[in-house]
Amino acid sequence: MPADRHERLRALRRHLLDLRLDGFILSTGDEHMSEIPAAYANRLAWLTGFTGSTGTAVVMADHAAIFVDGRYAATARGQVEARDYDVESVTPSVVGEWLARRTASGARIGYDPRLCTRGAVQAIRQALAGGDVTLAPAERNPIDAIWRDQPPRPTTQIFAQPDHLSGRSSANKRRDISDWLGTIDADAAVLVALDSIAWLFNIRACDIATAPLSYSFAICHRDGTADLFVDASKLDNGVRDHLGDSVRIAAYEDFYPALTTFTGKRVSIDPNLSPAAIHQLLDRAGAHICEARDPTQLPKAMKNPVEIAGMKQVHVQDGVALTRFLHWIAIEGPKGEQTELSAAAQLFALRRELPGFHGISFEPISAVDANAAMPHYVPTPASNRLIGPDSIYLIDSGGQYPGGTTDVTRTIAIGIPRSEVKDRFTRVLKGHIAIARLVFPAGTMGFRLDPLARMALWEVGLDYPLGTGHGVGHFLNVHEGPAHMLASPRPGDAGIEAGMILSNEPGYYKEGDYGIRTENLVVAVEYEVAGAEKKLLRFETITLAPIDRRLIDPALMTDAEIDWIDTYHQIVLSTIGPLLPADTRRWLEQQTAPLERIALG
């Protein structure tokens, strides 16, 4: 395969010469800014071998580089050919700065305006300012011209998400958008994100392997009508009836031509979720662009009571499958016969037994020892490691159900863990508990909470290269904005409000040795305090599965932290214990015994 990728790079360079381009910028994702796209859009992976969800490659005639963030640095170094690509850390301006050092006067650098935001293009253009370099938007992505067996864009059947699961009708949601357009004096709003469209129209599909989404665009109008641009073969009569007469159906390919009809109109687009091509076409058409957050983002993130109830219920189901898996790995792991891939397959088999299981919510991170030190590692036949009797094993996985989406990580000691590992695990757990116990004002930005999860690690000079939490959709994307718990704010981020569901997942990653992460999902709920002068929130943990006590050092924990873990474990036992087979229930009783009553080895 490395030889194939080297030849692909050579083929791209030959094609760029035909296009009179001196270089090309290639980003991950599809035309909808999807983090995890369908196979046809995995252009960066096809070219370079890098399989992470976020990255950018720049290919010049005699040099190439791939730019990734801290989550994927080790992964990229292991996947791409060093003879072909430099691996660089990404910042908003680094791609442009790299180009500026390597482009001659008069150079033409191509990019696909359907795969990057206008802000990303502007950052590169600004870094190139002062040089005679042209950024040239490509009419067709050059990868598509040389990828001979590129899969087609999926066209799976669309199905309705009923009101008793969504909690609100599509008509009700669209009325809110119509009212919002009136408040900003806009004629229409363009929706690009697949989860926004699925949520708004209460529709789902299977175009994405790990998210129940359909490839489509939408334009919502101030009069309450909407245009849905989608392959008509995906719609049966039941779905057409569900959408109703106020939703007009047009072909997926008709979306960009439709933008040319907005001459003189005010059109709202989200600059952080929309491709540069939309800005460019609306500008040429003479439309007045109103930049504003996608109007579905906040209401989609602030789950209604029906959605929250559904999320809690699927976490009970999911917790049963995960606890059965943890019991299984406790028995099978020490035998030295299981691998990262066989363990992931076992967890999938257990989830598949659950009623309503739709599929996984992301490719599982099943990682042992040094592989777990790569935060977003996914095992392959080439990288697959044996789970040995003295391993530290990390499993990050989740499921999709009509009632909601799950995402959970557990780190497991196979055998007796080293004292260093117990120390790091306990410090990560202290950070997890700090977030779980926190009371904070409504609307607080997540980057203000993130440091609390790191304090126990900072005390001994340690840290981790990821954020502490991300939003989670309701039977949608497992990663959902606009609220996050990151080390620094990003454009378009919003504060945390009641009803939002986020992950709580601090970790620690020692390159070449082991990785640790403890992740539960939490829902933000209102918290009453006598005399409070502002609205307060706290997090309610909804994930239900035991945390490996063998990795905990109680001497590092406060009484309040021990109380939290004991209380959490009693909730796990009382909620999912009655739903487990007898042998697993007995094992769970041992795993959830109060910390202060056992001798930890």
∠ CA 397-401-407 to the nearest 5 degrees? 25
Between CA 457 and CA 481 the distance in angstroms is 27
- Please tell me whether residue 298 adopts helix, strand or coil conformation: helix
Model pLDDT, residue 1: 62
124-138, 167-181, 529-543, 561-575: range with lowest mean pLDDT: 124-138
Using the predicted structure, report yes or no on whether residue 598 has a pLDDT greater than 70. Answer: no
- Phi and psi (nearest 5°) for 154? -65, 150
Dump pLDDT digits (tens) for 533-548.
Answer: 999 999 999 999 999 9
Dump pLDDT digits (tens) for 449-492.
Answer: 999 999 999 999 999 999 999 999 999 999 999 999 999 888 88
Q: Grade residue 92 by pLDDT with cuts at 50, 70 and 90.
A: low
Average pLDDT in the 554-581 region?
97
The residue among 243, 22, 55 whose CA lies nearest residue 133 is 22
Q: Which domains does the chain have, with CATH numbers?
A: 2-146 (3.40.350.10), 159-295 (3.40.350.10), 302-592 (3.90.230.10)
Pull the structure tokens for residue 218: 């939408």
Distances in Å between the Cα of 297 and the Cα atoms of 173, 387, 565 are 12, 41, 33
Contact partners, residue 490, CB within 8 Å, separation at least 6: 484
Distances in Å between the Cα of 164 and the Cα atoms of 66, 233, 307, 318, 404 are 46, 26, 9, 21, 13
Cross-strand pairs, 396: 365, 409
Between CA 76 and CA 54 the distance in angstroms is 11
Average pLDDT in the 255-274 region?
97
Q: Grade residue 252 by pLDDT with cuts at 50, 70 and 90.
A: very high
Model pLDDT, residue 579: 98
What percent of the chain has a predicted confidence (pLDDT) above 90? 90
Predicted structure pTM score = 0.95
Residue 521: how many CB atoms within 10 A of its CB?
Answer: 28
Model pLDDT, residue 74: 79
Dump pLDDT digits (tens) for 63-87.
Answer: 999 999 877 787 888 899 999 999 9
What's the burial of 355, exposed, middle or buried (CB within 10 Å: 0-12/13-18/19+)?
exposed
Between CA 535 and CA 372 the distance in angstroms is 40
Contact partners, residue 556, CB within 8 Å, separation at least 6: 423, 426, 427, 430, 456
Q: Grade residue 91 by pLDDT with cuts at 50, 70 and 90.
A: low
Between CA 182 and CA 32 the distance in angstroms is 26
Model pLDDT, residue 142: 97
CB 128 within 8 A of CB 99: yes
Model pLDDT, residue 601: 41
